[in-house]
Amino acid sequence: MNIIIGSDVVPTHANIHLFNKGEIKSILNDKLINIWNSADERIFNLEVPLSNIETPINKQGPNLIAPTSTIKGIKALNPSLITLANNHILDHGDQGLNSTQKLLDYNNISYIGAGKNLDVASKPYILNKNGLKIGIYTCAEHEFTIATETTAGANPFDPLESLDHIAALNKKCDYVIVLYHGGEEHYRYPSPYLQKVCRKFVEKGADLVVCQHSHCVGSFEKYNNSTIVYGQGNFIFNKRDNEFWNTSLLIDIQIKHEININYIPIFRTKKGVALATENKADEILNSFYKRSLNIREKGFIEKEYEKFAENYFKNYIRKFVGFGKWKSRIDNRIFKGTLSKRAYSKQERLAIRNYIECEAHWELLLEGLKRGNSGER
């Protein structure tokens, strides 16, 4: 069996008109189309609700949406399976998710990772071909669009449940693939915690773990004869033009007597994506392999994440003190972050740390924040 996995797909202003007409040959170049269609199975993450009605939920970050007419282009990609476990699938509430699922059902496109409640959203999918059973499991970090026992949304990563789901799937299948929608955006290495989570996926039976969501090509490691990919970049998501969003990987899985993983470099074009030229492919893969060697060094992941966290902490602290857009800019550009740093005393920072770090405190704090924001714009 040959499986190709793409990451995030979102029709944008650059190509909505092409999705509307199903003109995939104008979104993917010929060489990439040939490779994509040559696979036995094709999987990607649909990171946007398909709806003609805007009912945005209260959340941090953008509420993505694409018109139902874009289903023509999504169907033209000929997906074997679409995953919906991500941080945008519930951006327009139940109606956005319902609209998406109805369109996929009507067009006979299989999907997993979201549903009317947690039980439905957590169901895996099994590919059957040539006597092989390949189990696919997908889950997402908690970002406003997560299903519960009684409400719709995406399947969340739950260390008390998800690991059992993978172990059970492993007993039914020859191989298991886990697609995890999480990790830091625009960060090319795993955090120490993310590495622990993904390694635990492997210990529970995953042969391949792919972390999506980061919008950039990251790194990979071999662990217990399995492969973990920490970031593959986008598939078709022409929103930004920068060093992170402009290059990506498709993951090519060849299964015969064993599972073999190859990486297909692609790059962003004005209207979609194209197969990388030889020189560009070498550049993408060499950087990918170099980073993958780096994370094998003892202590590298921890030190790199400390540097990333130190820089990013400024953004968090400004939010905690209630700095808006302009106050944040003034603090950053004129005062070099000193205003927000002085907002809390040492003891107050220790209290915030305790509220976030201690399980009893963060559960209570989170519940209070949920209740406090209910009904607010």
**In the structure encoding, which two tokens stand for residue 312, read together?**
């990013």
- CB atoms under 10 Å from CB of 171, counted, come to 9
Residue 346: is its pLDDT beyond 80?
Answer: yes
pLDDT digits (tens, 9 = 90+) for 38-54: 999 999 999 999 999 99
Distance CA(300)–CA(151), nearest Å, equals 41
Q: Which of 266, 294, 322 is the last residue of a domain?
A: 294
Residue 320: is its pLDDT beyond 50?
Answer: yes
**In the structure encoding, which two tokens stand for residue 345, read together?**
């005393």
**pTM value surpassing 0.85:** yes
Are residues 60 and 33 part of one domain?
Answer: yes
Distance of CA 32 to the CA centre of its chain: 22
Residues in the chain: 377
Among the ranges given (21-35, 248-262, 354-368), the one the predictor scored with the smallest mean pLDDT: 354-368
Q: How many domains does the chain have?
A: 2
Distance CA(90)–CA(49), nearest Å, equals 7
**In the structure encoding, which two tokens stand for residue 245, read together?**
């969003």
Are residues 59 and 169 part of one domain?
Answer: yes
pLDDT digits (tens, 9 = 90+) for 130-147: 889 999 999 999 999 999
Are residues 355 and 244 part of one domain?
Answer: no
Interior angle at CA 137, CA 135 and CA 141, nearest 5: 165
- For residue 113, what are the CA distances in angstroms to 64, 89, 136, 146? 18, 10, 10, 10
Q: What is the CATH number of the domain that holds 264?
A: 3.60.21.10
pLDDT value at position 373?
62
Are residues 340 and 274 part of one domain?
Answer: no
Average pLDDT, whole number, for the chain?
93
pLDDT value at position 339?
78
Residue 87 and residue 63 in contact, taking contact as beta carbons nearer than 8 Å: no
Q: Which of 294, 311, 334 is the last residue of a domain?
A: 294
| Strand partners of residue 233 | none
Residue 112 and residue 123 in contact, taking contact as beta carbons nearer than 8 Å: yes
pLDDT value at position 82?
98
Distance CA(232)–CA(264), nearest Å, equals 10
Q: What is the mean pLDDT of residues 243-257?
A: 95
pLDDT digits (tens, 9 = 90+) for 293-315: 999 999 999 999 999 988 778 77
Distance CA(102)–CA(97), nearest Å, equals 9
Q: What is the mean pLDDT of residues 317-344?
A: 78
Are residues 334 and 284 part of one domain?
Answer: no
Are residues 265 and 361 part of one domain?
Answer: no
- CB atoms under 10 Å from CB of 290, counted, come to 10
Residue 200 and residue 206 in contact, taking contact as beta carbons nearer than 8 Å: no
Are residues 77 and 219 part of one domain?
Answer: yes
Between 123 and 131, residue with greater pLDDT = 123
Q: Which of 294, 317, 336 is the last residue of a domain?
A: 294
Residue 376: is its pLDDT beyond 50?
Answer: no
Residue 173 and residue 103 in contact, taking contact as beta carbons nearer than 8 Å: no
Are residues 269 and 207 part of one domain?
Answer: yes
Distance CA(44)–CA(79), nearest Å, equals 7
Residue 260: is its pLDDT beyond 60?
Answer: yes
Are residues 149 and 76 part of one domain?
Answer: yes
- For residue 119, what are the CA distances in angstroms to 103, 210, 375? 21, 23, 26
pLDDT value at position 316?
77
Are residues 91 and 47 part of one domain?
Answer: yes
Residue 41 and residue 4 in contact, taking contact as beta carbons nearer than 8 Å: yes
Among the ranges given (145-149, 272-276, 369-373), the one the predictor scored with the smallest mean pLDDT: 369-373
pLDDT value at position 334?
83
Strands of the sheet with 175-181, listed across from one edge = 125-129, 132-140, 175-181, 208-212, 226-232, 217-223
pLDDT value at position 374?
54
Q: What is the mean pLDDT of residues 279-296?
A: 98
pLDDT value at position 142?
93
Residue 55: is its pLDDT beyond 80?
Answer: yes
The H-or-E segment that residue 75 falls in is helix 71-76
Helix, strand, coil shares of the chain, percent, nearest 5, are: 40, 25, 35
The phi and psi torsions of 107 (rounded to 5 degrees) equal: -95, 10
pLDDT digits (tens, 9 = 90+) for 192-245: 999 999 999 999 999 999 999 999 999 999 999 999 999 999 999 999 999 999
- At a CB cut-off of 8 Å and minimum separation 6, what does 183 contact? 141, 190, 191, 194, 211, 213, 214, 218, 230, 231
Are residues 209 and 342 part of one domain?
Answer: no
Share of the chain above pLDDT 70, in %: 98
pLDDT digits (tens, 9 = 90+) for 66-98: 999 999 999 999 999 999 999 999 999 999 999
Task: Quote the domain boundaries for residue 367.
Answer: 303-373
Are residues 222 and 135 part of one domain?
Answer: yes
Residue 325: is its pLDDT beyond 80?
Answer: no
Q: What is the mean pLDDT of residues 367-376?
A: 68
Residue 90 and residue 50 in contact, taking contact as beta carbons nearer than 8 Å: no
pLDDT value at position 321?
78
- At a CB cut-off of 8 Å and minimum separation 6, what does 28 contact? 36, 236, 272, 273, 274
